[in-house]
Structure 1
Amino acid sequence: MTHPLSVQLYSVRELISDDRDGVLRRIAEAGFGAVEPFRPTDDPIGFRKVADDLGLSVSSVHAMDLLGTDTEADAVFDAAAVLGTGMVIVPAGIAEEEFTGTEGLTRAADTLNALAERAAGHGLQLGYHNHWWEFEPRVNGRHALEELADLLDPRVFLEVDTYWAAVGGADVPLVLGGLGDRVKALHVKDGPIVKGEPHTAVGAGAMPVPAILAAAPADAWRIVELDNCATDIIDAIADSRRYLSALEAQA
C-alpha cells in the first residue's frame, strides 16, 4: 500500500462536533495514518497542528463550497494548502438529473473542468466523489460515471465510493479496471448493499472488498467511511482497519 489508511471524518461527524481533538486521537490510536476532512475551512491551522502532533496526514478534503462562489472555492483551496494536501474533492452538489443523459453529463463535466483549472492555479488536483445516482442511470450503454469520465479534463481525478457504486448496480472491480489511473482514491465501505440500511465495518458486509482492492490502482488512497452505523462507530472504524491490514499482510 503506497499510502497509509485514511478515514473520512464524515463517519464521526456527530462526535467530532463535540470533541475534534479527542476523536482524532482515537483514530490515530486505532492505527490510521491519515484523515479526510469534510469541512476543511473550519480552523485548518488548529486542525493541522493536532493532526501533526498525532502523526496524521490529510489525504484529501471534501468540500461542498467548491461549487459555491469564487470566494468560497478560494477559501477551500487556501485551507487545503494549510492542511498539507494537494487533493480537493467535490463530494456532491451536482443535480442528480444531470447524470441521466449526455447533455447533463456535458454540463457536469464543464463545471468540473473549469474548477479543475482554477484548482491547478493553486497547485491542487480536483476530484469528484460519486454516490449511487452516478451509477444507476445508463447513458450510451454505460454507467453515467463512466461516460462522465470520458468528458472530464485529465486533470480531474475520481474518488470512487465503492459502496455507492455497488448500490447503483455496478460491478465495482470491473468499473475500477476500466477507469484505471483516473482513480486516485477509494472510499472503502461495507454493508448489505441496500439503500437506507446501516453500514458495517469493512469485512462484515456483502461487498467483495478483496476483489475491489485488487482492481484499483495500487497508489490510490484507501479511505474508510461509514455513512451510518448500528454499532459503535469508532469500534467499526478500528475493525475496518484490522480487516484491511490483514488483507494487506496476505497480499
Structure 2
Amino acid sequence: MPPAIGVMMYTVLDQARADLEGTLARLAGIGFLGVETYGLVEHFGPSRVRDAIASAGLTLTSAHTPFPAGPDAQRLLDQNEELGAEVLVWSMEREEFDSPEAIRHGVRRVNEAAERAAERGMRIAYHNHFAEFSRSFDGRSAYDLLLDLLDDRVLVELDAYWAVMGGADPARVLAGLGGRARFVHVKDGPAVSYEEDVMVPIGEGRIDWARTLGAAVPGPRWHLVELERLHVDTFEALRRSYAHLVGAGISRGAAAPAGTEER
C-alpha cells in the first residue's frame, strides 16, 4: 500500500491563519489524509489546532517546530503534548554544515531534543535542506556524517526537492535510509535556486516522482506536499498535486482524483 498523502501547512499558512477550520476542510475535501503543522500553534494555541484537525477528519502527522532543547525545551514539549503531536520535526542551520566539527556541535542539540522528547513519549525527526548534500568532507557527504552522529531514536523527514538541489538522488537516499525515513516532503519546481525557486504542482517540475517515490522502500508512511512561492492558486496547485500522486498510485488519498478510477 502506498504511503498516505498529506500537506505541510506552510503551504496554506496565510489561508489557515485567516480561516483555520475552513482551510482544513478544503484540504480534506481534495482527499488529503493528514497535515504537518507549521506556524499555527503559535497563532491559535495547541488545543484549537488539535480540535480543528480532528474535526476535519484529518490526521496530525507531525509538528514542524524547533527542537525541544535548551531553555525552551519544556515550553515546546508542553505545547506539542497538548497539540497531540507524536513526532517533532526541525532542521539544523546551513552554517552548521561548514565542517565536521560544526556538524558534531549542532547534533548535540538534536540529540538532547531526542532525549527530552522520549521522556514525553514523543520522537524527533530531522528535516534536511540542501547543505547536507552539497557539502562533503573526505569523500563523505555532510548528510552521511549527520546520520552517523544522530541518536538512533531520531527519525528522518527527507525533503526530496532540497536533496536534488544539493546534488543528491533522493531515490537513492531514501533507499539507504530504510525504515528511518518516516516522512517525505514532496515539492516540485526548477530546482535551481534555494532562495528564488517558484514551485509548481507536483509532476509539473523537474523531479520524476514515480522513480523517486515508487520504489518499495519500507520507511515512509507519509508523503507531505509542500509548495512555496506559487504563481498559481494554492488550492488548485494542491488539487493538481493530489491528482498526480494519487492518480499514479504513488501516494494514497481518501478518494480517487476526479475523472480517474481508484487504484
Note the alpha carbon deviations across 1:129-170, whole angstroms, 9 max, x for none: 111122111123232112200111100111010001101111
| TM-score (norm: length of structure 1) | 0.91
Percent identical: 34
Note the alpha carbon deviations across 1:152-203, whole angstroms, 9 max, x for none: 1100111010001101111111111122222111101111111112111111
Q: What is residue 63 of structure 2 aligned with on the other side? A: 61
1:199 aligned onto 2:189: no
The two structures, once aligned, show a CA RMSD in angstroms of: 2.0
Gaps of 5+ in 1: none
Find the aligned partners of 1:236 and 1:106 in 2 and give their Cα distance. 39
Q: Is the 8 A contact 2:64 2:88 kept in 1?
A: yes
Q: Is the 8 A contact 2:126 2:157 kept in 1?
A: yes
- Counterpart AA for 1:191: G
In the TM superposition, what is the alpha-carbon distance from 1:4 to its structure 2 partner?
A: 2.9
Find the aligned partners of 1:30 and 1:74 in 2 and give their Cα distance. 36
SS at match of 1:126: strand
Note the alpha carbon deviations across 1:15-44, whole angstroms, 9 max, x for none: 222122211111111111111111363311
Find the aligned partners of 2:144 and 2:179 in 1 and give their Cα distance. 13
- Counterpart AA for 1:223: L
Q: What is residue 243 of structure 2 aligned with on the other side? A: 242
Q: Give the 3 Å change call, closer, same or farther, for CA 58–2 of structure 1 in structure 2.
A: farther
Aligned residues: 247
Equivalent residues in 2 for 1:38-117, closer than 5 Å: 38-39=38-39, 41-42=41-42, 43-64=45-66, 66=67, 69-70=70-71, 72-90=72-90, 92=91, 94-117=92-115
Q: Is the 8 A contact 1:160 1:187 kept in 2?
A: yes
Q: What is residue 222 of structure 1 aligned with on the other side? A: 223
**Which consecutive aligned stretches of 4+ in structure 1 deviate over 2 angstroms post-superposition?**
1-4, 39-42, 66-70, 72-85, 214-220
Equivalent residues in 2 for 1:84-233, closer than 5 Å: 84-90=84-90, 92=91, 94-195=92-193, 196-215=196-215, 216-233=217-234
Find the aligned partners of 1:110 and 1:39 in 2 and give their Cα distance. 25
Q: Is the 8 A contact 2:68 2:117 kept in 1?
A: no
SS at match of 2:134: coil
Gaps of 5+ in 2: 251-261
Note the alpha carbon deviations across 1:85-110, whole angstroms, 9 max, x for none: 310011x3x33222132111111222
